[in-house]
C-alpha cells in the first residue's frame, strides 16, 4: 500500500534450504537498504532479485527457495515456495521447462512453464449487462497443451478487492478450453470467466488471479489482472 506521498515500503524475507533441509542462506529483509525511504511506483513495479550460490552448491544439487514478500505499512503478504535444480553455466537449458512471462499496460501479468503464452487478453464482458458481468481472461494459441491435459489438471481462481485483500467471489469462476485449430492437437485456447456483481461499482478495481497446473505439476499458467484506466 502506498503512503500519502505515493511511495511503497516492501520487504522480502529469503530462506534457501538444501536437499537435507540444511539452511543454505537466509536474509530477514532483502530490501533493508530501503527502510524508511521506500520506493516510487516505477521501482516497485520492477522489483528484481538476483541470487548467487557459493562453492558448496554443486551442479545437480536441489534446493528449495522460500520468498516472503510483505508490506511494512500493512499486514499484506505473499509467500512463494519453489524448487530449484542447480546446473552448470554451460549446460543447455531444457526448453520444455522454459518460463514465459509477459505484462501489459492494461493491467495483466502472466507467467507460464512448459507452455508458450502468446496472446493473453483481458476484458470486462458486459454483453449481458445489467443482468450479468464477467471479468474475462482469454489465452489464445497456447502451445504445448492439449485439451485433455488441461481438463486433467487443476485450476484455481482468486479475487482481491481494491486493497488486495482476498474476498469471496460473487459467484465461482470457471474456465473453458478448446482447440485453437481442429487439425492441431498441441495448441489450445482457454477462456476464464469470473462473475461479478453488476450492481457493484468497484468491480473494475478488483484483481483476479488464475492459475492452472497439469497433473504432474510440471506445467503451469499464472495470470494476474487488474484493469488500468
| Cell numbers representing residue 41 in the block | 511506483
Question: What's the rounded mean pLDDT across residues 120-141?
Answer: 90
Q: Which residues pair with 12 in a beta bridge?
A: 69
Q: 217 near 156, Cβ under 8 Å?
A: no
Query: In angstroms, rounded to a whole number, what is the distance separating the alpha carbons of residues 185 and 132?
Result: 33
pLDDT tens digits along 135-185 = 999 999 999 899 999 999 999 999 998 888 889 999 999 999 999 888 888
pLDDT of the residue at 113: 87
pLDDT of the residue at 216: 87
pLDDT tens digits along 196-222 = 999 998 888 899 999 999 988 889 999
Q: What is the DSSP letter of 147?
A: H
Q: Which residues pair with 193 in a beta bridge?
A: 136, 174
pLDDT tens digits along 43-98 = 887 787 888 887 788 888 888 999 999 998 888 888 888 888 887 777 655 545 56
Pure H helices in 23-143: 41-44
Long-range contacts of 186-189 (CB under 8 A, 24+ apart): 186/143, 186/144, 186/145, 186/146, 187/141, 187/142, 187/143, 187/145, 188/142, 188/145, 188/146, 188/147, 188/150, 189/138, 189/139, 189/140, 189/141, 189/142
Query: In angstroms, rounded to a whole number, what is the distance separating the alpha carbons of residues 14 and 25?
Result: 8
Q: How confident is the model at residue 36 (pLDDT cuts 50, 70, 90)?
A: confident
Tell me the percentage of the chain whose pLDDT exceeds 70: 95
User: What residues contact 67, with CB distance under 8 A and at least 6 apart?
Assistant: 12, 13, 14, 49, 79, 80, 81
**Number of Cβ atoms within 10 Å of the Cβ of 188:** 24
pLDDT of the residue at 93: 54
Amino acid at each position: 500500500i502506498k503512503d500519502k506521498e505515493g511511495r511503497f515500503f516492501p520487504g522480502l524475507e529469503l530462506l534457501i534450504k538444501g536437499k537435507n533441509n540444511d539452511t543454505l542462506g537466509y536474509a530477514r529483509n532483502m530490501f533493508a537498504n530501503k527502510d524508511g525511504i521506500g520506493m516510487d511506483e516505477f521501482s516497485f513495479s520492477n522489483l528484481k532479485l538476483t541470487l548467487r550460490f557459493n562453492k558448496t552448491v554443486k551442479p545437480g544439487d536441489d534446493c528449495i527457495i522460500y520468498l516472503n514478500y510483505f508490506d511494512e505499512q500493512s499486514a499484506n503478504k505473499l509467500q512463494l515456495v519453489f524448487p530449484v535444480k542447480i546446473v552448470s553455466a554451460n549446460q543447455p537449458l531444457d526448453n520444455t521447462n522454459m518460463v514465459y512471462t509477459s505484462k501489459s499496460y492494461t493491467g495483466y501479468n502472466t507467467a507460464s512453464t512448459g507452455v508458450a503464452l502468446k496472446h493473453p487478453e483481458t476484458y470486462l464482458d458486459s454483453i449481458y449487462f445489467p443482468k450479468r458481468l464477467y471479468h474475462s481472461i482469454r489465452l489464445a494459441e497456447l502451445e504445448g497443451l492439449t485439451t485433455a491435459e488441461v481438463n486433467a489438471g487443476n485450476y484455481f481462481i482468486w479475487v482481491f478487492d481494491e486493497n488486495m485483500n482476498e474476498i469471496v467471489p460473487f459467484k465461482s469462476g470457471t474456465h473453458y478450453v478448446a482447440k485453437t485449430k481442429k487439425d492441431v492437437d498441441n495448441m489450445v485456447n482457454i477462456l476464464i470467466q469470473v462473475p461479478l456483481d453488476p450492481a457493484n461499482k468497484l468491480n473494475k478495481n478488483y484483481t483476479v488471479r488464475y492459475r492452472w497446473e497439469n497433473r504432474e505439476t510440471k506445467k503451469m499458467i499464472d495470470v494476474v489482472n487488474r484493469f488500468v484506466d
